[in-house]
Chain A
Amino acid sequence: MTQIYEGMFLLDNQVVREGWSDAKALVTSTLEKHGGKILSARRWDERRLAYPIKSSLRATYLLTYYELPPEGIAGMRLDFDLSEKVMRYLHLCVDAVPEGEADLAAAENADDFVVPTPPEDDAPDVEEQPEGEPEAAKKAEEKSSDAPADAAEAPADKPADSEKSAEAPAAPAGDASANTETADTAKES
């Protein structure tokens, strides 16, 4: 009796750059070699890793659903453990293939589907760039819009500051005199 499994494979971006179909075939052929039947296989994501694996900072995830006889599991595990192109893999039992998964896999197999080339390890995340730039631009605009207002307020503030500064030395002087007075009175007494 065969069981349906979900497999998530972490592929080295260097392999993916050489060709997505070859990278995908690397996993699917290994599964088929051990008696597996691929139900769906698609590129799940390409993202920055939470921690470096074999000095790689980015990798591509391949999500597959397959049927595999129990005799093939040990051999499959051994093959993926020894493979340097598959950095990590996760092999889970599932009841059924989730809805919509087959459609996504079929969409990837279409002729017009183009798998984007994975960026270099040093490259920043694509999502961060567009968000970061407008924010920076907004902040710059806010600063520029605030600057004249501050400048306009500044002259009004300055006299107040100058008054304060003028008053400030007076208070300690007064206090000092008060202190001296109390000291004098203490002496007198």
Chain B
Amino acid sequence: MARRVPKVIAGKNCDDPIIDYKDTEYLTKFLTPQGQILSRRRSGFCAQCQKQLKSAVKRARHLSLLPFVG
């Protein structure tokens, strides 16, 4: 059975993206409808950018810019 290929949102070559906790519109692209952060497989980020994304989302959640759930 063929393996299902996940839909990649960002390109594989993430050339220094500006990931800021204040830019909630951009961050929401990398969240599921339930508010979970997408995995690297789906976001297409490198390890370093994925870490930045994680930090930015967690900062935004702390300031109630993004929801923890939903």
Interface pair B64/A88, CB less than 8 Å apart:
yes
**Docked complex Cα distance between A88 and B65 (Å):** 11
Which residues does chain B contribute within 8 Å of A10, judged by CB atoms? 63-64
18 A-B pairs within 8 Å (CB atoms) are namely: A8-B63, A10-B64, A44-B22, A47-B65, A50-B64, A50-B65, A50-B67, A51-B64, A51-B68, A59-B64, A61-B63, A88-B62, A88-B63, A88-B64, A90-B21, A90-B59, A90-B62, A92-B59
| Option from A47, A51, A90 in Cβ contact (under 8 Å) with B67 | A51
Which residues does chain A contribute within 8 Å of B67, judged by CB atoms? 50-51
A170 within 8 A of B: no
Label chain B's interface by main secondary structure. Answer: loop
**Docked complex Cα distance between A50 and B31 (Å):** 14
**Docked complex Cα distance between A88 and B62 (Å):** 8
Fill in one digit per residue for B47-70: 1 if any A CB lies within 8 Å of its CB, else 0. 000000000000101111111100
Q: What total count of A-B pairs have CB within 8 Å? A: 27
Which residues does chain A contribute within 8 Å of B62, judged by CB atoms? 88, 90
A104 within 8 A of B: no
Fill in one digit per residue for A101-133: 1 if any B CB lies within 8 Å of its CB, else 0. 000000000000000000000000000000000
Label chain A's interface by main secondary structure. Answer: strand
CB closest residue in chain A, given B64: A49
Which residues does chain A contribute within 8 Å of B21, judged by CB atoms? 90
Q: Apart from A90-B21, A92-B59, what are 6 other A-B pairs with CB-CB below 8 Å?
A: A50-B61, A50-B66, A51-B64, A51-B67, A53-B64, A59-B64
Which residues does chain A contribute within 8 Å of B66, judged by CB atoms? 50
CB closest residue in chain B, given A8: B63
CB closest residue in chain B, given A49: B64
**Docked complex Cα distance between A49 and B63 (Å):** 8
Which residues does chain A contribute within 8 Å of B61, judged by CB atoms? 50
User: Which chain A residues numbered 133 to 183 have a C-beta less than 8 Å away from chain B?
Assistant: none
Which residues does chain A contribute within 8 Å of B22, judged by CB atoms? 8, 44
